Amino acid sequence: MGQVTLLGLGNILLSDEGVGVWAVREVARRFRLPAAVEVVDGGTAGLDLLPYVEDREHLLVVDAVQFQREPGFVGWLEGEEVLAGGGAQASLHHLGLREVLGAARLLDRAPREVLLLGVQPHSLATGVGLSPCLQARLPAVVAEIISRLTAWGYPPLGPAEPGG
């Protein structure tokens, strides 16, 4: 069990709605991370994610969020903003995330710090893969993730092993 969970949320069958999943997969594909960092493709799992949230030092969630900004906009929500939606319209998974965090609190096992890296989607059309707009923004999203992990004291150990 890691001290940090990097949790990607989203439905990869609805183009940019799956940006959280695509982003954490890209981090895992490109970087060798410390053992304390657990990368989780949470998809649309909801309460099944509780074991990946409980007792963590840090929880970094990546998801599509309706910030009402230009497509590809990247913004952070933290702490209670994650539970409240922070003025941004919640993603399709926000309710599930809120329930998971609420359950962890009831069990007195909530993560110490919760951050949500939200990305404004361009397209929510049916289809696998990101829109060209968000595909172009993916390196910036990955850089934000790596920057946050580094700030928490968990920088990548190097590039991922080829084929690993």
Give me the pLDDT at residue 161, please.
Answer: 81
What is the pTM for the complete model shown? Answer: 0.91
pLDDT, tens digit, 9 for 90 and up, residues 29-65: 999 999 999 999 999 888 899 999 999 999 999 999 9
Mean pLDDT for the chain overall: 91
Confidence band of 94 (pLDDT split at 50, 70, 90): low
Whether the per-residue pLDDT at 98 is higher than 90: the answer is no
In a 3-state reduction of DSSP, which class is residue 4?
strand
Whether the per-residue pLDDT at 90 is higher than 80: the answer is no
Return the closest-CA partner of residue 39 out of 78, 76, 4: 4
Mean pLDDT confidence for 111-132: 95
According to DSSP H, which parts of 31-130 are helical?
50-53, 80-84, 94-106
Residue 5 identity (one-letter amino acid): T
